[in-house]
Amino acid sequence: MSAAWRRYGKWAATVLLLLAGLIAWQQMRPKPVVVGTGGVQVSVPAGWQWNAAVTNAGGPIAIDNFNHAHSSGGVVPPGGAEIEITRGQPLEGTLGSIIREETAGTSEASTRELTAGGVDAVRVAHQDSFGPNLRYSVVTYYMVKNGMLYKFYLNHHAGDPKGPDFVQTFDRLVAGARIGQ
């Protein structure tokens, strides 16, 4: 066998090994979990879990990072966060009146208009107290498409050091959502 054929054989073997490795890597890497219902489709972030039982029972899309192990009374455990996404509902009243009603009695509210998931949205961040020892930081996106209202909620303990990471993950989830499909 000539030297040229040996070089060609080594080159071909190298290419085949690289292709086999690429195929194995593609098959082993985690596939995003895509959840869709009620006109909303989202990808579940890495390290978070979709609670199919809640959604399949007619509830919202419920996603959390603590394996659905709420503390007593349905409280998000310390260090945990949950995302809930309501199905599209006909918009009744004005968006401003709905936001005012839902945030009445909360503190430190900030509101921002933007586009998320290709839809005009209002993003509201506030804190909600449930007694002297339980306070949640809440971020909500309100979106209207084709006369239907969609709401995305993030809840976690106020002051949680992971709070900024939760918010960043939530903002990315909303930005990638497909709404009104």
pLDDT in tens, 149-160: 999 999 999 999
Q: How far apart are CA 124 and CA 40, in angstroms?
A: 20
Global pTM? 0.79
> Does residue 74 surpass a pLDDT of 90?
no
How much is the pLDDT for 25? 42
- The DSSP secondary-structure symbol of 159 reads T
Model pLDDT, residue 26 = 44
Q: What would the DSSP string read from start to end of 35-60?
A: EEETTEEEEEPTT-EE-HHHHHTT--
Percent of the chain at pLDDT > 70 equals 80
Whether the Cβ atoms of residue 84 and residue 103 lie closer than 8 Å to each other: no
Q: Evaluate if residue 129 carries a pLDDT over 90.
A: no
Express each pLDDT in 6-41 by its tens digit. Answer: 666 665 556 545 444 445 444 434 445 577 777 888
Q: Whole-angstrom Cα distance, residue 12 to residue 18?
A: 10
Average pLDDT estimate for 72-81: 92
pLDDT at 119 over 70: yes
Run of H or E including 19: helix 3-28
Q: What is the pLDDT of residue 92?
A: 86
